[in-house]
Structure 1
Amino acid sequence: MPVPVAPRRWPLLGHTPAMLTQRAKFTDALHEHGDVVRLDLGPLHAYFVTDPALTHEVLVAQGSKFRKGAMFDKFQPYLGTGLLLSNGEFHLRQRRLMQPAFHRERMETYASTMARAAASLVARWQPGEVRVIENDMQELAVTIVGEALFSTEIGEPAVEEVRRSIFTVIQQGMIRALSPSFVEKLPIPGNREFDAAIARMKAVVLQVIESWRADGVDRGDMLSMLLLAGMTDQQTYDEVLTLLTAGIETTAIALAWALYEVGRNPEIERRLHAEVDSVLGGRPVTFADVASLTYTEQIVQETLRMYPIWFVMRRALVDVQLGDVHLPAGAEVIVSPHALHHDQRYFTEPWRFSPDRWTPSFASGLPRGAFIPFGGGNRQCLGNTFAHTEIVITLATIAANWRLTPTRPARVKFTSAPYPNGLLMKAVPRN
């Protein structure tokens, strides 16, 4: 069948102006034009999938027929061949090597780091102080992932550089991914910032790797696991940068938005505080508590629904039949968690923050592919349990001691995801 073309296409530039100016408002509405809609990103033709069942086909059922797409090709020269960008047998090999880093016994250790880092952060807050919450959550996410990666003092310079550079890499990288290739060669400020940030991060991470190899001791961190698995310096760097990129952005955004939504919904806040008080009884949260914090988990699920990444891309390795649409080998496919998560066919009042929607029956009744905050198939984020645990533990730690009240409506800066921009909240002690 012929594939409908999305509206607002410009000569030469295609749909890139609409994507960059309207962001999710543009892509969230594409389901009105069909289950598969053609987008032109400059000269590149892409197929935007709006149907959950077809999304499941791309990510899972026929996942072996796809590889990472054009968006990721633009990152490859800078982020290498870590799990985020690698393909085929090499990807599967790297994934197997990294899986032990997320086993339960290690998660218990990470949970202690998460609780300690969250408690340290909020201990610096003052009663009545107005905090820029996205900055606090970014700092916390960097600290937690940094300590999990580099457990000793040799990693401190790397963690500091990550705090300085990682969000420049993520945000400017998305702009590059949506722009024609010639744009990244222009001497404009965004390109200079991106290139400088990548160069600084590579230099400091390679210095940490060199220091580790000098004694070769297993320090119980992720870096030790990667190097002891026999990875080269370059492979290790690629995976470290992947873990930093994937492990910081999603979690920091989710935490900031979760705190904002709780703070502006008194009944949600009351129920969160009641659960935390009942489960913890005034003591610090532990990994064993996570399973009992069921309403907190519902808040996390609803946050991941409302504020996910914008889209990902895949490239067909062979001819693929996707519903009524035949995709030739080499076709670029776009899947948008944001568009799927805000589709009112599957989520009633999709723009309303409602943790109560996440009953077991609702979750089990969702079509496959309708809720994909961490992707799916063998490309599903390996650190999804890490991220869930971090968000629950941080929310519980904050809720046990503080109320956070927004001082103004949220402002959004949309790049690879809806970033909070100047999310000001007043810290009020609960006791």
Structure 2
Amino acid sequence: MALVVGEPEGVNEDSGVASQEILIVGGGIGGVAAALALCRQGRKVTVLERAPEFKEVGAGLQMAPNATRILRSWGVLDQVLEMGVQPKRLIFRDAVTGEQLTDADLRGEFAERYGAPYVVLHRSDLHAILVEAARKAGADLRTNADVVDVETRDDVARVRTSDGTVYRADVVLGIDGLTSSLRRKVSGDEVVASGYVAYRGAIPMDEALDVDDRENVVVYLGPECHMVQYPLRAGTMFNTVAVFKSPSFSRGEFVPADQQELQNAYSDCIPQVQRALLNLWKTVSWPMYDREPIDNWVDGRMLLMGDAAHPMLQYLAQGACQAIEDADAFDRISASVTDPHEWNAALAEFNSTRADRTARVQRTARTWGEAWHVNTPLPKLLRNLLFKSRKDEDTRYTDWLYGADSIST
């Protein structure tokens, strides 16, 4: 990567220093996925990560067929399958009564219809697989690089880091997450607090308490709360996520770990759900935010992708999946760019191709969360009846999200 350390204002942009093709800001799943895809295409790619190492935090992650199809095309799906678990079914239960509301096959006809498996795995495992593959493909991955600004001059993007280093590139992809500093280049919006927080726990299977289902993804729906459980790492670990409406967060007084709030949130749930709270990490929780969809992700030669462009709540398990879709879409669109002057059209095409789809996922995730968390009798009755009326052959709620044709529309 061509760079000048501490470059003063007014430096000659025609000094003969060769620009690189693509620079990616952010080394999370979306950033390294984009690096892998573009390096496979033959592009020169540098990834700048502000942290001292390329590492993901968190616990379990669900990869639906719209993402695993792409992982297969990149040659990493076999590693993902080795590290993860292919659950047999997705099961929804009422957290207050324990009644099963519906279940869906995640293998068999489901996998055949969508052309790829449904996989659950540890977030750090997916990230590590993508980092290794991106490095092998030729990506230049750099840490301790805190990007503070990107500007475009004469069709060249200039990226400045906090230590005064300046990078030049044909295109910059801002994939720096929910709290993206680069999003300010295109929007003055703020993150939207949902009022809900998540506690997570990924622990050895033999240490998990009250586990009666080690093969499926199980979701318990309760009043202003829900719980998700599934196995990880070839069944050697068990993942639990508890999400509930936090009084302190709703008041703007978020407390990282409030055990009393956690216990109170599930007080009306069946004993099995209450006991499952013991499988959670107790010292940290994650407040849940998203943003309103925006139409424009482009500023000069900078393009937002992933959570920087379209952060979403997790109710459809699509955050990482949509970032992977972004990487694949940009890879396909940019493949035809042979002249630097063609990049502006490519960025505009990506924006127009992806914005409507990701906005639909963002809005549907919010609606899905509201349906899961109803807390009065009539809405709960209607929700449960809707779930129980679903037939195995009914794919109307999944075709738009998982189908191969839906991604390009």
Q: Normalising by structure 2, what TM-score? A: 0.26
Q: Which has the higher helix share?
A: 1
Q: Which has the higher strand share?
A: 2
TM-score, length of structure 1 as denominator length: 0.25
